[in-house]
A = this chain, B = another copy of it.
Amino acid sequence: MYYLGVDLGGTNIKVALVDENAQILAEDSRPTNLPRTAQAVCDDIAALCRGLQEHSGGKAVAGIGVGCPGTVDDATGQVLYSNNLGWQNFAMGPYLAEKTGLPVRLANDANAAALGEALAGCAKNAESAVILTLGTGVGGGVVLGGKLLTGYTGAAAEPGHMVIRDGGALCTCGRQGCLEAYASATALIRATRAAMAAHPESAMHALAATGGVTGRTAFDGAAAGDAAATAVVTAYTHDLALGVANLINIFFPQVVGLSGGVANQGENLLVPLRKEVASMVFGHEFATKQTEIVCCTLGYRAGVIGAALLARA
């Protein structure tokens, strides 16, 4: 049996035809071209799906899964609110089901990507996983026993909006001290800029001379032995460790997977992170098993694969 996975973003619509083993058989995409009506966007999704069905070699396509930015209600197929798309209370599931003749499942886009990593990526075969995306914000998803945690309201999980430092840095959500305000790529870049301003002698100025300040600047500076860059990386790693350890102390999952730009640092980030998290885990002295902290493996394809697996469930 095959499945269609849709990753609907503010910029692009990506669709993949996926088999029951989470392998991609064919992919396609189109620009989302916002602002447009929700119906027009869904008509494009339906067209992309029809196009990929031609690659199914006659094998049945069982359903469509859609990862959509914002809050969705999978039970009713409603997109309750999507700031990125400008949608509110749109019955995407029923609309798309009518256009394609296939059953449609919905998830938040970060949740769909987390499901992809949990079932087919960095946490494949694990009984539970918490996926954190370190990008513009800190997104994520929790997969327990193969199922997404969506909560009573459908809004779960928002691990980026866990306060780790009450009264601390202002978060995009309006509160102070959220994990997102410290562990996002945005926060890392902000801290890098601040350190550069305070340290005209820092090697980071030369590193950022071409290409500007990015989430890599401080890591590259630290690797070159720059003191100001090392301080930025140390503080960033500590704050990320707080968030990861808090989530471990709540879920004690088999795997914590990190994705997003900052996670491209790989073992550079993971080695000091694992060390710091280890001492923060409750009962670590007596633990016979430990949560594994890894980087995600599917890249941007996590979204379409996870969406397709949503349809498989």
Binding site for B on A (CB under 8 A): 71, 80-81, 126-128, 142, 144, 149-159, 161-168, 173, 175, 238-239, 242, 245-247, 249-254, 280, 282-283, 286-291
Which residues of B lie under 8 Å from residue A158 when comparing CB positions? 249-250, 282-283
Q: A162-B249, A163-B242, A242-B163 are in contact. Are A283 and B155 (CB under 8 A)?
A: yes
List the B residue with the shortest CB-CB distance to A247: B250
Among B127, B164, B288, point to the contact of A163 (Cβ < 8 A): B164
**What is the bound-complex CA distance between A156 and B247, given in angstroms?**
10
A162 near B165 with CB under 8 A, answer: no
Among B126, B127, B250, B290, point to the contact of A250 (Cβ < 8 A): B250
Copies of chain A in the complex: 2
Give 8 closest A-B pairs by Cβ, nearest first.
A151-B252, A152-B254, A156-B252, A161-B282, A81-B286, A162-B246, A158-B282, A153-B252
Which residues of B lie under 8 Å from residue A168 when comparing CB positions? 166
Most chain B beta-carbon neighbours within 10 Å: one of A80, A128, A161, A162: A162
List the B residue with the shortest CB-CB distance to A255: B152
- Given A152-B254, A161-B282, A166-B239, 5 new contacts (CB under 8 A): A126-B152, A153-B288, A158-B282, A159-B249, A162-B250
Which residues of B lie under 8 Å from residue A156 when comparing CB positions? 250-252
